[in-house]
Amino acid sequence: MSHVVSPIRETLVGGGRSYHDVTQDICKQVEGEPTKEWKIAFGVSCLIFAYGAYCLGYTWWQGIGVWGLNKTVGWAWDITNFVWWVGIGHAGTLISAVLLLFRQKWRTSINRAAEAMTIFAVLCAASFILAHMGRPWLAHWALPLPNTFGSLWVNFNSPLVWDVFAISTYLSVSLVFWYLGLVPDLATIRDRAQSKASKFWYGFFSMGWTGSAKTWARYEYVSLILAGISTPLVLSVHTIVSMDFATSVIPGWHTTIFPPYFVAGAIFSGFAMVQTLLLVTRVVFKLEDYITMEHIEMMNIIITVTGSIVGIAYLTEFFIAWYSGVEYESYCFINRAFGPYWWAYWMMMTCNVISPQLFWFKNIRTNILVSFILSVVVNVGMWFERFVIIVSSLHRDYIPSSWAMFSPTMYDIGDYIFSFGLFFTLFFLFAKFLPVINMAEVKSVMKGVSSNYPFKKNAEGGKDKVAH
Amino acid sequence: MENTTKRYWRGIEELKNDAEFVKYADREFGDAPSADEKEGAIFDGTGSHRRDFLKVLGFGMSAVALAACEAPVKNTIPYLNKPEDVEPTIANWYASTFVDGGEYASVLVKTREGRPIKIEGNKASSVSQGTLSGRAQASVLSLYDNEKLKGPQKGGQAAEWATIDKEIVAGLAQVASSGGQIRIVTNSILSPSTKKVLGDFIAKYPTTKVVTYDANSAAGLVAANGVLPSFDFSKAKTIVSLGADFLGSWIAPTEFAAQWAKTRRVSSAKDGNKEMSRHYQFETIMSNTGANADYRSTYKPSQEGLVAAALYNAVAAKVGATALSVAGVKVEYLEKAAADLVATKGASIIVSGSNDPAVQSIVAATNALVGAYGTTIDLGTPVNYRQGSDADMNAFISEAKAGQIAAVIFYNANPVYNHPRGAELAEALPKIGLTIATNEKADETASLVKYNTPDSHYLESWNDAEPKKGFYSLTQPTISTIFKTRQAQSSFLTWAGAASADYAAYLQASWTGILGGKVQWSQVLHDGVYETGASVSAATPAVNLADAAAVVAKTYKASSEALELAIYEKVGMGTGSQANNPWLQELPEPISKACWTNYVAVSQKTAADLKLEQDKEVELTVAGKSIKLPVLVQPGQANGTVAVSIGYGRTKAGKSADGVGANAYPFVTTVNGTLAFFNTAEVSVKATGEEVKIAQTQTHNTVMAREAVVQETVLSEYKKNVEAGRFKPEILTAEGKKTATDISLWNGHKYNNHAWGMVIDLNTCTGCSACVVSCSAENNVPVVGRQEVINRREMHWIRIDRYYSSDASVEDLQGLEVASENPEVVFQPMLCQHCNNAPCETVCPVLATTHSTEGLNQMTYNRCIGTRYCANNCPYKVRRFNWFRYYQTDEFDFHFNNDLGRMVLNPDVTVRSRGVMEKCSMCVQRIQAGKLEAKKEKRRPKDGEIQVACAQSCPTNAITFGDMNDPASEISQLLAAEKVGRAFGVIEEINVKPSISYLVKVRNKEREAKKAEGEAKEHA
C-alpha cells in the first residue's frame, strides 16, 4: 500500500529568511535614512498633491461650475472618481478580513499595504463626497445630528445618506483594523528605536504592547472579531454605493444587477490596485522574498475571476435591456456602445473584460511586467466603467430635448489629480514611517509543515535560525 | 419665654441706628460713597471700582468681539412720511401701455414699494386681449438699464436741461428764420396726443416734417390696402400665410396668436368642439408660424410674388375670376390651400409677409375673392402699428446727404442702426447743423448728434395710444424718473415755446375734453383702456391688379438656382430696440433654440451642398457687403437660401448687446419703392475656418419616436376617436396586463385642501416663449450668458422643447436623430411636473426638496447642500443648479450685478445662492398670496384668482392652472373632459404621477399615405 503524497506547497517567504531577517528587512525602511527612490517618489507625489490642491481650492472658491457638468449631466468625474476610489479600497478589506477568516496564509505579506491602501482610497473617495457638493461647508447636514432647526432630520430614504453611513463605517472599521494589526510591529520598532523621538512616538502608538502570551491571545481575538465585522462591509459598502444608481429612475442606472456587479467590480479594481502598488513596493523596498511570484499569481487569478464576473454583468445588462422591452433602457445600452460615448464603452470593455483573460496563460500571469501593465489597465477600465455608467446614462435619458454632452475641464482633471496626490503622498509616508509588511504575521507563516520536508525544492529554507 | 438670642453689632453706628448708617446699610462696604464712586466718575476718568472695572472690561470685550464680526451694511430706511398708496410688501397695480416703435400692448404694471417689477397683460383691452410678447414682458428690465443716458448731454458731455433747451430753441429759431428744413425722424407713433404735440411743434416751426419709418416696415401692406387693416384670425376656417410670421413676429403676433388659438382649441367632451381651422404656411425660413401650420412648404424669396399670383390664379380658377398672366410656379399644397380657401369662403384669410405693394395687392385681391374683407379682414377699423413710409425715409436720407436738412430730431429712432441706409445717414449727419436725439441711450444714432435729450422710459411716462381706430389705451408713470430724463413730449412742448411743458396736464386736458370730466378721466386711467368700438367695413381695397401682376412678373422669377438671402425678425429679439435686455438675449428662439447671437441659417441640403457645418463661422457677402456669423443648420428652410435675422450686431446699445451677432439691416434692399427683407443679389458664403459655437438650449432636435413624450394625432382621427394618438403603455404582471400607472410602490399623498395642477394644451402652444420671460421676471431667474448657455447651464425654470419630425423608421436610431427636410414641428413647454411620486424627493439626503400638502414639489434653498442627485434623478431634467454665484459677480454682469438692475427683483422670491438647486415652484409665492387674500376675506380662493406667471402670460391660454380638488375649477373641468381624451402625462409609464397634464396635439391635415401605411403595418 502506497500512500498519497500531496504536492508540496511553496514556502510563503522566500530567500530562506530567518525571523531576525524579517525584522531587519522590514524595519530597515522605517529606521534608515529615506532612500533616493523614496525621496524622488515622495517629492513627485507632493508636487502632484500641490497642483491638485490648487485645483481643488479653486473649485471650492469659485463653485463647481468650473467643472464641465451641466443641467443634464449633474455628476461626471466627481462621482466616477468617488466610486472608483471606494472600489479600490475594497481589496484591502477583502485581503485582510475575508482571507483571514478563510485562513489564507499567503495574505500576510500583503495585507498591511492593502489595508493602508484601503484607508487612503477611502479618504480620496471622501474628498470627492465633499468636493462634489454645491455647498461643501454644509456637509455635516448629511449627518443625523441634533440641530436647532426643529425636528429637521436627514432623509433616510436617500441612498446618499446610506452612503454617508456606509463610507464612515467603512473608514472607521478599516482604520481600527489596520491600526490594531500595526501595534505589535510598532512595538518591535519601539524596542529597536535609537532616537528619543522615535522611541516616544512608536512607544505611544504601540500602546504599551508587551508581547506576552495573553496580549497575543487578545490580539488574535480582536483581529478575528474585527475581521468578522469587516467582512460584511466588503459586500455592503459597494452595494450601497451601487444603490445610488440602482434606486434611481434613470435608464442605465435603474438596474437590480448593480449590487453584486459593483462588489465584483470593486474587488476587481481593488486587487488590481494592490497589484500595482505591491509590484512597485517590492522592487523599491527589495521585498521580493516576501511578495513572491505566488502572491502575484494568486492576485492575477482573482483579477481574472472578478473581471469575468464583471464581464458577465455587462452582458447581462445588455440582455435585460433587450429582454425587458423598455424603450429607454434599450436605447441607453445601444447608445452606450454606439452613441457619442462609444469610445468610453469600448475602452471599458477592452480593459475590463478582454485584458484580464490574458491571465489564463501561466507565463503571462507570472510575468511581472505584464502583470503590472495589466493591473494599471484594469484600473483604467474600471474608471471608464463608472464614467460610462454615470455619464452615458445621464447624457441621454428620457426627454431628448435635454440631451447633452459632457466634456471635462482642467478642474475636473485637476481635482482627480488631487486625489492621486493625496493617495500617493499618504502611501509614501506610510511606506516610510510604518512597516509595509506585517512582520508579526509573516513570522507566523514562515514555519509551516512544508518547511520541514526534507525533499522540498527550496532546500536552503531549512537553515533558519531561531534567533530574534 | 425669654429671648436668649444674642445680638451682635457691626459697629456702634448700627447700635445707634442713625440715619446716615441706614442709608448705606445694604452696601458691601457700609461706608458713605467716596468721591470717585459718583455716577459717571468711572467714565470721566476720575476713578474706578472693581466691579465697574469688570463691567467695562466685559463690555469692551464684547464690543470688540462684535465689531470684529463685521456684518454687511444693509440699509433699511423707513418712510418718514409714508406715501399714501405704498404699503410695504403689498403690491400696487397700475394700468399702462407698452409701446416700442410699432409694438403695442395694454399692460398692468405690478409695483412693490414703488418699483415696477412685473408687467402683465391688461385683459380689459379688446385689442391686445391681455396678451404680451416676451419683449413687453422684458421691458421692465429695460427700465433699470444702467447704461441709459442719465441726463441731457451736449456733445457727449452732461449738461443742464435749461442750457440745452435754450440752445436748442435758439438753434431751431435760427433754422426756422432762414427757412431751413427741420425733420423729426420717428418710428410709428401710436399716441394721438403725441401727434398733437408734434403738430404744435410744426405750427411753431413750419418747415418741420415728420418722417416716420419702421425698422420692420409694413409699408407694402399699407400701400396695397390704403390702411393697415385689422385682421381677425378667430373667424377664419382656412388660414393661408405667405411668409407672414403672424404668430411670432408679424405686425401684432400675440394678438393674432390669441385669435388663432380660438380656432385651434378642441375638446374631447361629448359636445365639445371638434372643429379646427386649417392653417397653410408657405415661406422661406422655418418660422414660428410655419412650425404651427398644418401644411407647410417652402419657396425662395425670388419666387414670392409669383407664389402669391399662383395662389390668386388657383382661387380665381375656382371662383371664375380671370387669371393673372404671370409665370406659373410649383409650390406644394398651393392648390389644396386654394381649394380650402374657396370652400370656406367668408371664413378665409390670406396674409403675406411681403413688403412689396404689388405682392400685397395680389394678396388683397385674393382676399377679396374669398370674402375676407368684412369678416376676417377689416379696413373700417385700421390699426396704427406700422405707419412708416419707406419712401419718406429714403427721401430724408437723400436730402440729408445732399445737405438740404438744417435740423433733425430723432424721436426715439435709431436709423443709423436699423435702416439699411444707416451708414449713409451716419456720414450725412455732420452736414446737418442742429442734431437732436431723444433716444434713451447714446446709441448708434444718438451718439452722433449734438444734443441728447433722453426721453423717459414708458414706465416713467404719461402718454396715450390709439393702437386701433377707436381703441385707446393710456400710459401712466409707475415710478418717478430714475435718471434726469424728460419725456420727449415735454421737450417738444418746451422747444415749441408752449406756455406749459407739462405733458401730463396736456394729456389730461385733452382727455377730459374727450371724456367729459375729471371723474371719467380717472376711471379711464384706472382701467387703462377706452374703447369706442370697431366700425367694421366690408369695403375692399381698390387694387390695380393688372399693374401689380406686371410688376410681379418683372420682379420675381419662377425658379432660380442662385443662393438667396432671407432677412427675418426673431421672435424674442424683434428689431433689436431692446437688445441690451439680458432676458431677451438669453431667450431661446422658438425654432432654433439659439440665443445670444444671430446666425446664418441654411437647410440641411444646402448645408451639404455648400459644405457648411453647424457652429462654423462663415463670411456672408451680399452685394459687396459682408458679415461674419456662425452657421446654423435649420431643417425646413427653403433650399438654396440663407437666412439672417435682424436685431443683432448692435455697437452702442450696452454690454449685453454690443458685439453680439452681426447687423443684417444693411442687406435689406429697396424693391418697388419699399424695403424688401430679402436679397437676391450675389449672395455668397465662405467658411472662415473659425469655430464659433452658437449658444443653444436644445441641441437634440428630434423626439426619437418616443410616443410617451409627445403625443399627436390628426383631426380626422380625433373626430372618430378622442383618444387617437394616445400612447398607453401596459405592463405584463402576474395578474395579466395592467396600465402602467396602476402599479405603484408608493402609497401616494392625501391632499385635503388644495391640489394644484396644470394642463398644457400642445394644440394651442405656439412656442412663442413669452412664458419664459414672464417666469424669469416673476421668479428672479438668473441670466447666465452665452458661454454658460453653451455649457448647457441656462437657468430657465420653464423651457419650450421643440421637436422636428424625422423620416426614419422607429428602429433606425441613428436615422431618428436627423430631422426631415420639411419637418413637422411640435412645441412642448417643460417645467417641473410636481410629481406625486417625485423621484427627486426620495433621493435628497437632507430633505431639501419635499412634497407639500397641496401637491407641490417644494425646494428649500437654504437646506440644499448641492449634491445634484435630485437633478440627475429628474426624468424631465427641469432642475437647475446654481453652478456659480450669479448675483453680485462680475462674470455675470447682467442685471444681478448692479443696484439698479436688482431693483427688478421680486422681493417675494429668494435670490438663490451658489451651490443650491432650484426649479419651478409653481409660483408658490402667488399661491400663498392668493390664499392669504381669501383667508382675510374668510372664504376659499376663487378659481382663476391665483394665476402662475407662465399661465398668466400665455397669449393663447395654452396653460391652465388651478386647484384639481375643486370640481368647479377650469382645470378640473378640463381634465374631466379630457380624461378619456387628450390628457396624458409625459413618460407616464414610469409612474411618477406628474401634476401637469398635456393635451395631445391635433393637426388638421390628412395623414400622409406613407405614414399611415407604416402605422397600419405596425399595428397589424
pLDDT at B1017: 45
Q: Above 80 in pLDDT, residue A127?
A: yes
Write out chain B residues lying below 8 Å of A134, CB-based.
864-868, 881-882, 914-917
Q: Which residues of A touch B794 (CB under 8 A)?
A: 71
Joined together, the cell numbers standing for residue B14 give 448700627
Q: Is residue A12 part of a domain?
A: no
Q: Which of A46, A100, A83, A168 is nearest to A420 (CA)?
A: A46
pLDDT for residue B71 is more than 80: no
Write the residue in B867, B881, B915 that is nearest to A160 by C-beta: B867
Residue B212 falls inside a structural domain: no
What's the rounded Cα separation, in Å, for the pair A348 and A354?
9
Query: Which residue of B883, B914, B918 is the best one to mutate when testing the A interface, meaning the one whose CB has the most A CBs within 10 A?
Result: B883
Per-residue pLDDT of A258-308, as tens digits, reads: 999 999 999 999 999 989 988 988 888 788 888 888 889 988 999 999 999
CB pair distance less than 8 Å for B843 and A248: yes
Give me the mean pLDDT over the A34-60 stretch: 94
- Cβ of A158 within 8 Å of Cβ of B830? The answer is no
Exposed/middle/buried for residue B91 (C-beta within 10 Å: 0-12, 13-18, 19+): middle
Provide φ and ψ at A430, rounded to 5°: -60, -45
**Domain boundary pick from B53, B68, B83:** B68
Best to test chain A binding among B702, B745, B784, B865 (most A CBs inside 10 Å):
B865
pLDDT at B1 over 60: no
Q: Give the best residue of A247, A389, A402 to mutate against chain B (max B CB count within 10 A).
A: A402
Q: Pick from B696, B720, B738: which residue ends a domain?
A: B696
- Asked if A138 and B865 come within 8 Å (Cβ–Cβ), the reply is yes
Tell me which residue in B702, B704, B915 faces A134 most closely, judged by beta carbons: B915
Residues B960 and B1000 grouped into a single domain: yes
At B876-914, the pLDDT tens digits run 999 999 999 999 999 999 989 999 999 999 999 999 999
- CA of A145 to nearest chain B CA: how many angstroms apart? 11
B655 and B754 assigned to the same domain? no
Instruction: Report the chain B residue with the minimal C-alpha distance to residue A136.
Output: B865
DSSP at B852: -
Say yes or no for a CB contact (<8 Å) between A133 and B844.
Answer: no
Contact criterion met (CB < 8 Å) for A70 and B873: no
- Kindly give, in sequence order, each residue whose CB lies less than 8 Å from that of residue B984, ignoring residues fewer than 6 positions away: B711, B726, B727, B997, B998, B999, B1000
CB contact under 8 A, A155 and B842: yes
Q: Which domain holds residue A387?
A: 19-135+154-447
- Among residues A132, A156, A134, A33, the alpha carbon closest in space to that of A83 is found at A132
Q: Which CATH number characterizes residue B615's domain?
A: 2.40.40.20
Q: Could you tell me if residue B100 is inside a domain?
A: no
Q: Which amino acid is present at B46? A: T
What pLDDT, on a 0 to 100 scale, did the predictor assign at position B87? 85
Q: Which three cell numbers stand for residue A159?
A: 441612498
- Contact indicator for A193, A202 with CB cutoff of 8 Å: yes
Q: Tell me which range, B19-23, B312-316, B813-817, is most confidently predicted by mean pLDDT.
A: B312-316
Predicted local distance difference test score (pLDDT) of residue A173: 92
| Mean pLDDT, rounded, for B48-58 | 80
Of A74, A153, A399, the CB nearest to B830: A399
List the single residue in B792, B801, B916 with the smallest CB-CB distance to A71: B792
More confident of the two residues A122 and A449:
A122
Pairing label, strands B594-595, B695-696: antiparallel
- CB B915 to CB A133 under 8 A? yes
Residues B876, B755 within the same domain? yes
pLDDT class for B311, splitting at 50, 70, 90? very high
Q: How far apart are CA A438 and CA A181, in angstroms?
A: 7
Interchain contact, A64 vs B842, CB within 8 Å: no
The per-residue b/e assignment along B890-928, b for 16 or more CB within 10 angstroms, e otherwise, is eebbbbbbeeebebbbbebbbbbbbbbbbbbbbbbbbbe
Q: How many domains does chain A fold into?
A: 1
B351 is a domain residue: yes
For A391, which residue in chain B has the nearest alpha carbon?
Answer: B872
- The predicted model gives A116-121 an average pLDDT of 93
Residue A77 has pLDDT above 90, yes or no: yes
Mean pLDDT over A35-46 rounds to 92
A40 CB-near residues (< 8 Å, 6+ apart) = none
Task: Identify whether the C-beta of residue B551 lies closer than 8 Å to the C-beta of residue B358.
Answer: yes
Same domain, B692 and B719: no
Is A214 part of any domain?
Answer: yes
* CB-side neighbour CA atoms (13 Å) of B675: 27
- Residues in contact with B758: Cβ distance below 8 Å, sequence separation at least 6, in sequence order: B922, B948, B951, B959, B960, B961, B971, B995, B996, B997
pLDDT given at position A101: 81
Q: At residue B1020, does pLDDT exceed 50? A: no
Any domain includes A169: yes
Out of B842, B863, B875, closest to residue A397 by CB: B875
Q: Does some domain include residue A432?
A: yes
Question: Does the residue B193 lie in any domain?
Answer: no
- When mean pLDDT is compared across A7-11, A248-252, B367-371, the lowest value belongs to A7-11
Write the ipTM. 0.92
CB contact under 8 A, A154 and B845: yes
Q: What is the pLDDT of residue A461?
A: 43
Tell me how close the Cα of B742 comes to any Cα of chain A, in angstroms: 17
Interface contact B876-A398, CB threshold 8 A: yes
Q: Which residues of B touch A400 (CB under 8 A)?
A: 700, 702-704, 706, 709, 803
Segment B399-412 mean pLDDT: 96
- Looking at the predicted structure, is the pLDDT value of residue B6 above 80? no
Mutate to test the interface with A, among B787, B847, B998 (most CBs of A within 10 A): B847
Query: Could you tell me the three cell numbers for B730?
Result: 401596459
Residues B778 and B645 in one domain: no
Residues on chain A touching B847 (C-beta within 8 angstroms): 152-155
Same structural domain, B582 and B683:
yes
What is the predicted pLDDT for the residue at B2? 57
Shortest Cα distance from A63 to chain B (angstroms)?
5
Residues B597 and B651 placed together within one structural domain of the fold? yes
Residue A466 falls inside a structural domain: no
User: To which residue does cell 412742448 refer?
Assistant: B493
In a domain, B548, yes or no: no
> How many Å apart are CA B915 and CA A452, to the nearest integer?
66
Cβ-defined contact of A400 to B987 (cutoff 8 Å) = no
| Averaged pLDDT for residues B73-97 | 85
pLDDT in tens, A174-197: 999 999 999 999 999 999 988 899
Calculate mean pLDDT across residues B128-132.
93
User: If you average pLDDT over residues B1010-1014, what whole number do you get?
Assistant: 50
Cβ contacts (< 8 Å) between A245 and chain B: which residues? none
Asked if residue B497 has pLDDT above 70, the reply is: yes
Confidence of residue B828 (pLDDT cuts 50, 70, 90): very high
Average pLDDT over residues B668-692: 93
Domain C-terminal end among B696, B731, B749: B696
Question: How many residues in total does chain A contain?
Answer: 468
Taking alpha carbons only, the member of B764, B869, B901, B896 closest to residue B266 is B764
- Report the pLDDT value the prediction gives residue B954, as an integer from 0 to 100: 96
Mean pLDDT of B167-183: 94
Query: What CATH number is given to the structural domain containing B283?
Result: 3.40.228.10
Residues of B in contact with A154 (CB under 8 A): 845-847
Is the CB of A134 less than 8 angstroms away from the CB of B793? no
Which residue of chain A is at minimal alpha-carbon distance from B710? A399
Nearest CA in chain A to B878: A71
B730: which residues sit within 8 A by CB, 6+ positions away? B737, B738, B739, B740
Choose among B228, B359, B294, B257: nearest CA to B678: B359
Q: Is residue B811 part of a domain?
A: yes
Task: Please give, rounded to a whole number of angstroms, the shortest distance from the CA of B192 to a CA of chain A.
Answer: 47
Q: How far is A267 from chain B (nearest CA, A)?
A: 26
Give the distance from residue A339's alpha carbon to the nearest chain B alpha carbon, in angstroms: 9
Whether A65 sits inside 8 A of B867 (CB atoms) is: no
* Total of domains in chain B: 4
Contact A399 B801 (CB under 8 A): yes
Task: Decide: A468 and A27 in contact? Cβ < 8 Å.
Answer: no
User: Quick one: average pLDDT of B61-69?
Assistant: 76
Check residue B64 and give its pLDDT: 79
A154: closest chain B residue by CA: B846
- Residue in B803, B873, B880 closest to A71 by CB: B880
The reply to whether B598 and B720 lie within a common domain is no
Q: Report the percent of chain B where pLDDT is more than 90.
A: 84
Nearest to B700 among A160, A331, A400 (CB): A400
Q: What is the pLDDT of residues B942-974, one digit of tens each?
A: 999 999 999 999 999 999 999 999 999 999 999
Strand B917-918 versus strand B880-881 pairing type: antiparallel
Same domain, B680 and B719: no
Chain B closest CA to A53's CA: distance in Å?
A: 20
In a domain, A69, yes or no: yes
> Would the CB atoms of B699 and A403 count as touching at under 8 Å?
yes
| Subunit contact A248:B872, Cβ cutoff 8 A | yes
Specify whether the CB–CB gap between A10 and A294 falls below 8 A. Answer: yes
Q: Is residue A410 one of the residues assigned to a domain?
A: yes
pTM score, two decimals? Answer: 0.90
Is B122 within 8 Å of B130 (Cβ atoms)? Answer: yes
Nearest Cα neighbor of B794 from B858, B867, B889, B699 is: B699
Extended strands (E) in B692-824: 695-696, 712-714, 730-733, 736-739, 756-761, 799-804
- Mind telling me how many Å the CA of B66 is from chain A's nearest CA? 22
Interface A-B: count of C-beta contacts within 8 A: 162
**CB spacing of A155 vs B845 below 8 angstroms:** yes
CATH number of the domain residue A361 falls in = 1.20.1630.10
Cβ atoms of B437 and B452 closer than 8 Å? yes
Contact criterion met (CB < 8 Å) for A401 and B828: yes
Cα–Cα dist B916/B730, whole Å: 38
Q: Locate the chain A residue with the closest alpha carbon to B700.
A: A401
- Please determine, for residue B398, whether its predicted confidence score (pLDDT) is greater than 80: yes
Same-domain pairing of B724 and B686 = no
Are residue B849 and residue B959 in the same domain, yes or no?
A: yes
- 3-state SS class at B1013: helix
Chain A hits for B864, Cβ within 8 Å: 134-135
With cut-offs at 50, 70 and 90, classify the pLDDT of residue B648. very high
Check pLDDT > 80 for residue B68.
Answer: no
Q: B845 vs A139: CB contact, 8 Å cut-off?
A: no
Q: Which of A327, A401, A409 to mutate to test the interface with B (most CBs of B within 10 A)?
A: A401
Q: Is residue B863 part of a domain?
A: yes
Q: What is the pLDDT of residue A454?
A: 45
Neighbouring CB atoms inside 10 A of B400's CB total: 22
Domain that residue B742 falls in: 712-1011
Residues B775 and B839 in one domain: yes
Task: Convert the pLDDT of each residue in B554-603 to its tens digit.
Answer: 999 998 899 999 999 999 999 999 999 999 999 999 999 999 999 999 99
